[in-house]
Homo-oligomer: A and B are copies of this chain.
Amino acid sequence: MKKKICTLKELALKLNLSISTVSRALNNHPDISNETKLKVVNLANKLNYTPNLFAQGFRKNKTNMIGVILPNVTHYFSATILKGILKQAEVKGYRVFITESNNNVKKQSEMLHTMMQFGVDGILMSISKKTKNIKDILDLLDKIPIVLFDKVSYKIPCTQIVVNEEEASFKAIEHLIHTGKKRIAIIKEDEFSFSSERRFEGYLRALKENAIDIDKNLIISCEDLSLEQGRRMTKLLLGLKNKPDAIFAITDTAAIGVIKTLKKFNIKIPEDIAVIGFSNSLHSTIIEPKLTTVDQPGEKIGKTAIEYLVKEIESSEAYVSSKTIEIKTTLIVRDSSLKTTSFI
């Protein structure tokens, strides 16, 4: 079903004017007399005329639509980014199309394709984990502006919005060191991932700058950073002769697994073992003790992504920028790590 909708033509007919005049009157064109404008606008209101943006877009070869591809909308952090995207897109006058890739590379390609077909003006994406083949993304880059956020890849020459992963991680580890911790374990991902690697770099740098030797037993890689893996890896760490006195899980979810397991074994948090997570998810204040973690400002990431994308869309030159924008994070110290005044 589709009921009839008022068009310029209908207005023109009823007013005995040409379509052009009606169009101009509604767009407040200086050529049109006030009298005519008034007549047109009145009738338009009366008949509840709404311009068909689809036709407008088609005419102007500009749709004011932006496509967004992300792995999973139900992840709180993604949803938070999405919120920023929606808010800023509205400000800038763009409509947002969402699709989920569910970390499926094939689907990701299809969505990219569909977005193109649908004539979006630009694409915002967080690339799927297993994206090996970036050829189709590269091809598209020539045709349409793309901005990457969160899950990015330096191999794709376009603007990328990320969090200051390395520094955030560095600061988290320094915080632990300042509270007297010396045997700091890290739980990271085994497969290569942009953020996991950079967080690991921060870990290494913090130890190095504080003259703490690296103990390979304290570096744990696992295939995903789920709560379950957090649990398993904690048991592994507790089995060590020389136990850690702090655990940095590069994900809140894993960190919560860590806390739950430590509690089960009656280990005091943070006195015996401190715990730090990453991302300041809602869970981090539900768990007891409350989790010390790194806050990633999702809305700001989304907002920034839209801003850069719109800038590229509206730029007249066909340039491809490839800046990397780092959004600042904040370490939020809660009960799962010791307080310290010596922390600079």
Contact = CB atoms under 8 A, between A and B. Distances in A.
A100 B114 contact: no
A219 interface: no
A140 to B, nearest CB: 10
A154 interface: no
Interface in A80-125: 80, 82-83, 86-87, 90, 95-100, 113-114, 116-119, 121
Contacts of A144: 2-3
B74 A99 contact: no
Interface string A279-319: 00011001110000000000000000000000011011111
A319 to B, nearest CB: 7
Interface string A301-344: 00000000000110111110000000000000000000000000
14 contacts: A1-B313, A2-B61, A3-B142, A5-B143, A50-B117, A58-B58, A72-B83, A73-B73, A74-B76, A76-B76, A95-B97, A95-B114, A96-B99, A286-B287
Interface of A: 1-3, 5, 48, 50-55, 57-58, 61-63, 72-74, 76, 79-80, 82-83, 86-87, 90, 95-100, 113-114, 116-119, 121, 139, 142-145, 256, 260, 263, 282-283, 286-288, 312-313, 315-319
